[in-house]
Amino acid sequence: MTSHIPEQLTLDEELFQADIKPYYWVNQSNNLINLTQDLTLTERRLVYSLIALVQPDDHDFKTYIISIKDLADLIGLKGNSFHERVESAIDGLMKKQIILQTGEGKHSIVDKIQWVQRATYINGSG
């Protein structure tokens, strides 16, 4: 757990430092591949990078801490405006949904899921 995060940001949950590696494997279901995904390249890279942090033995969702610089490096953003580009990608993902439909007709089940539920920034930090 990281102690430099202000207590009000933790929402009483345990925080985990993201274990950044130079490579990741991400498995994606065919159902997800076949969905229309209106994601930019940066948004797609961000999703895959964050999914890669989830380990097969994780039973619950975890809250990960990752510096914006490490995240920009991970998804291949270069230059001076990577803060703004990461924030823009996160904002875009918060507005977009995955729509899954099971069955057909009036008895079908439709799930609408946001790509990103929450993102917390600490202004002025990397």
CA atoms within 13 A on the CB side of 111: 9
Summarize the chain as % helix, strand, coil (round to 5). 35, 15, 50
Q: How far is it, in rounded angstroms, from Cα 25 to Cα 34?
A: 19
Residue with tokens 């590696």: 21
CB 77 within 8 A of CB 85: yes
pLDDT tens for 45-80 read 888 888 877 777 877 877 777 787 888 887 878 877
Residue 9 pLDDT greater than 70, yes or no? no
Q: Tokens for 27?
A: 């498995």
- Model-level pTM? 0.68
pLDDT tens for 16-52 read 666 666 665 666 666 666 666 788 988 988 888 888 7
CB 99 within 8 A of CB 112: yes
Q: How far is it, in rounded angstroms, from Cα 71 to Cα 75?
A: 6
CA atoms within 13 A on the CB side of 63: 15
Give, in order, the Cα–Cα distances in Å from 85 to each of 32, 82, 116.
25, 5, 16
